[in-house]
Amino acid sequence: MAQGTSLQYEPVAEIGGGAYGTVYKARDMESGQFVALKSVRVQTDQDGLPVSTVREVALLKRLEQFDHPNVVRLMDVCAITRTDQETKVTLVFEHVDQDLKTYLEKAPAPGLPPERIKDLMRQLLCGLAFLHSNRVMHRDLKPENILVTSQGQVKLADFGLARIYSCHMALTPVVVTLWYRPPEVLLQSTYATPVDIWSTGCIFAEIFRRKPLFCGASEVDQLGKIFEVIGLPPEEEWPADVTISRKNFPLLFPRPITDFVPEINEKGAQLLLEMLTFDPSRRISALNALQHPYFKEEDVPQMNS
């Protein structure tokens, strides 16, 4: 599994401590280019190998062969054995200087032009459609792990890591944001690739608003904030076998999405609502979203009357 060694990469700066441990910007001593290093300690089995991790990393490496333009490149995997119980695995990714959060913060008022928003969304959905077609869920999509290059190219980062780190996560008391979590995850119901579409909808709205759409402080609070926008779903759509009862929430009716995202056009609003659909089985897929009329129409610049 180990190709490079960690000695090949010289850390230059710490670029953030996320839920997955510290991330370093480093220089590849061989090529001179900058990379991002993400390390994780994983439990090993009798043969000294973390089986599930090896499987997940192999999947990431397989995706690498496609060299998709909207997915961050995994350049290398180094495994450094620590003890009999634990292996430190370092993943080496291409380094991109800014994330979508920074990119939005830097955009001058009144925000990004409609064509630019459409381009960002198209690229994001292309990356997601690629992952989903390879049966990879991102599971933690948010502006901080969507990277934007200086040329305006969107690259999804940290996908597939949720599975690799899940056993490790229990050990780290990191506050993970709930703002981009779909209802089925908040309710601890079963989930699949539609989770990422919900997060994409939240991000779509945020690109227009320049602030998050649903800022909940707890699972129940987050659901309440969601229902204030999309309404309380009918009883038959509420998943069975979840601990949070529908009776915990007031009867709310859907409000026009343009109350919350006033700058969005009609086709964009339709697409956004298809992403922010409570029932994951009725939520639009990434591939279908790319075929949506929103991407077909030209944005006509508004004439100042």
C-alpha–C-alpha distance, residues 24 and 11, integer Å: 6
Q: Is 132 helix (H, G, I), strand (E, B) or coil?
A: helix
Name beta bridge partners: 92: 37, 76
Contact by Cβ (8 Å): 19, 169: yes
State how far the alpha carbon of 75 is from the alpha carbons of 30, 95, 289, 291, in Å: 13, 10, 30, 32
Q: Is 245 helix (H, G, I), strand (E, B) or coil?
A: coil
C-alpha–C-alpha distance, residues 257 and 228, integer Å: 11
Write the burial class of residue 76 (CB in 10 Å: 0-12 exposed, 13-18 middle, 19+ buried): buried
What would the two tokens of residue 196 be?
Answer: 């990422």
C-alpha–C-alpha distance, residues 260 and 263, integer Å: 9
Q: Would residue 97 show up in a list of annotated catalytic residues for this protein?
A: no
Q: Where are the alpha helices (DSSP H) in the chain?
A: 51-64, 100-106, 114-133, 161-169, 183-186, 194-209, 219-230, 266-275, 286-290, 293-296
Cα dihedral 105, 109, 113, 116 in deg (nearest 10):
-20
Q: Which of 76, 99, 140, 196 is catalytic?
A: 140
Q: How many CB atoms lie within 10 A of CB 134?
A: 14
Active site residues: 140
